[in-house]
Protein backbone atom coordinates (compact mmCIF):
# COMPACT_ATOMS: atom_id res chain seq x y z
CA UNK A 1 0.00 0.00 0.00
CA UNK A 2 1.19 3.49 -0.85
CA UNK A 3 1.90 6.14 1.73
CA UNK A 4 -1.09 8.50 1.89
CA UNK A 5 -0.85 12.11 0.75
CA UNK A 6 -0.76 14.23 3.89
CA UNK A 7 -2.92 17.36 4.03
CA UNK A 8 -3.14 20.40 6.26
CA UNK A 9 -6.29 22.46 5.89
CA UNK A 10 -6.58 26.11 6.82
CA UNK A 11 -9.74 27.42 8.44
CA UNK A 12 -12.86 27.30 6.25
CA UNK A 13 -16.53 28.08 6.83
CA UNK A 14 -18.18 25.30 8.87
CA UNK A 15 -20.05 23.64 6.01
CA UNK A 16 -17.02 23.66 3.70
CA UNK A 17 -14.76 22.35 6.48
CA UNK A 18 -17.13 19.47 7.22
CA UNK A 19 -17.36 18.61 3.53
CA UNK A 20 -13.59 18.65 3.07
CA UNK A 21 -13.01 16.52 6.16
CA UNK A 22 -15.63 13.99 5.02
CA UNK A 23 -14.27 13.86 1.47
CA UNK A 24 -10.68 13.38 2.63
CA UNK A 25 -11.56 10.81 5.30
CA UNK A 26 -13.29 8.60 2.69
CA UNK A 27 -10.15 8.28 0.57
CA UNK A 28 -7.51 5.87 1.92
CA UNK A 29 -4.86 7.65 -0.16
CA UNK A 30 -5.38 10.92 1.76
CA UNK A 31 -4.61 11.76 5.38
CA UNK A 32 -5.77 14.99 7.02
CA UNK A 33 -3.06 15.67 9.58
CA UNK A 34 -4.44 19.00 10.79
CA UNK A 35 -7.52 21.08 9.99
CA UNK A 36 -9.00 24.44 10.88
CA UNK A 37 -5.56 26.05 11.07
CA UNK A 38 -5.64 29.82 11.47
CA UNK A 39 -3.50 31.80 9.02
CA UNK A 40 -1.37 33.38 11.73
CA UNK A 41 0.00 29.93 12.76
CA UNK A 42 -0.13 28.21 9.37
CA UNK A 43 3.59 28.51 8.58
CA UNK A 44 4.45 27.09 12.00
CA UNK A 45 2.09 24.13 11.45
CA UNK A 46 3.50 23.49 7.96
CA UNK A 47 7.05 23.49 9.31
CA UNK A 48 6.06 21.06 12.07
CA UNK A 49 3.85 18.71 10.00
CA UNK A 50 5.55 19.01 6.59
CA UNK A 51 2.44 17.95 4.66
CA UNK A 52 2.37 17.13 0.96
CA UNK A 53 -0.55 19.54 0.42
CA UNK A 54 -2.02 22.59 2.13
CA UNK A 55 -5.61 23.70 1.44
CA UNK A 56 -6.20 27.44 1.67
CA UNK A 57 -9.38 29.51 1.79
CA UNK A 58 -8.99 32.38 -0.68
CA UNK A 59 -11.53 34.48 1.24
CA UNK A 60 -9.42 34.47 4.38
CA UNK A 61 -6.07 35.28 2.77
CA UNK A 62 -4.58 38.68 3.59
CA UNK A 63 -3.63 39.07 -0.08
CA UNK A 64 -2.66 36.92 -3.04
CA UNK A 65 1.03 37.51 -2.34
CA UNK A 66 0.70 35.50 0.87
CA UNK A 67 0.31 32.34 -1.26
CA UNK A 68 3.68 33.04 -2.89
CA UNK A 69 5.30 33.70 0.48
CA UNK A 70 3.86 30.48 1.88
CA UNK A 71 5.17 28.52 -1.09
CA UNK A 72 8.62 30.12 -0.76
CA UNK A 73 8.89 29.11 2.89
CA UNK A 74 7.51 25.58 2.23
CA UNK A 75 8.64 24.64 -1.31
CA UNK A 76 7.93 20.91 -0.90
CA UNK A 77 4.29 21.50 0.04
CA UNK A 78 1.80 21.84 -2.81
CA UNK A 79 -0.64 24.72 -2.34
CA UNK A 80 -4.32 24.38 -3.28
CA UNK A 81 -6.43 27.53 -3.01
CA UNK A 82 -10.21 27.14 -2.93
CA UNK A 83 -11.96 30.26 -4.16
CA UNK A 84 -15.52 31.32 -4.85
CA UNK A 85 -15.63 33.40 -8.04
CA UNK A 86 -12.24 35.10 -7.97
CA UNK A 87 -11.77 37.88 -10.48
CA UNK A 88 -9.39 37.41 -13.40
CA UNK A 89 -6.90 39.75 -11.71
CA UNK A 90 -7.05 37.77 -8.45
CA UNK A 91 -6.57 34.50 -10.34
CA UNK A 92 -3.54 35.90 -12.15
CA UNK A 93 -2.00 37.04 -8.89
CA UNK A 94 -2.34 33.53 -7.48
CA UNK A 95 -0.39 32.05 -10.36
Per-residue pLDDT of the chain (95 residues; tens, 9 = 90+): 689 999 999 999 999 999 999 999 999 999 999 999 999 999 999 999 999 999 999 988 888 788 888 999 999 999 999 988 888 887 777 77
Half-sphere exposure of 72 (CA within 13 A, CB side): 5
> How many whole angstroms separate alpha carbon 23 and alpha carbon 60?
21
Identify which of 73, 72, 81, 28 has the alpha carbon closest to the alpha carbon of residue 53. Answer: 81
What pLDDT was estimated at residue 12? 96
Q: What DSSP designation does 6 have?
A: E
> How many whole angstroms separate alpha carbon 30 and alpha carbon 62?
28
Amino acid sequence: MRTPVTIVSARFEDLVAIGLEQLISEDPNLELVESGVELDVLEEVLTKRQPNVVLLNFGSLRNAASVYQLHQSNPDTRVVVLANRPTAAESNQLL
